[in-house]
Amino acid sequence: MGLKVVGTLGLLREAYDEGIMVKGMLIRFLKQLKHQGFRISDDVIHEILEKLN
């Protein structure tokens, strides 16, 4: 089918890369996801933020 599978974090990163959201918004979304039970470690969040251009 040619579909690209992307997870939640990939979608958020793509939105940031495309200029749909700013860094502060991305950080808030990551924190909200974790607070609401999304299983993501602080190390993964840190790694995502380090790789932002």
Give the helix, strand, coil percentages of the chain, each rounded to 5. Answer: 60, 0, 40
User: What does the pLDDT read at residue 26?
Assistant: 94
Any idea where the domains of the chain sit in the sequence?
8-50
The structure's pTM equals 0.78
* Mean pLDDT for back-to-back runs of 10 residues, the chain (53 residues): 88 94 94 94 91 80
User: What does the pLDDT read at residue 14?
Assistant: 92
Residue reference for tokens 């790789």: 51
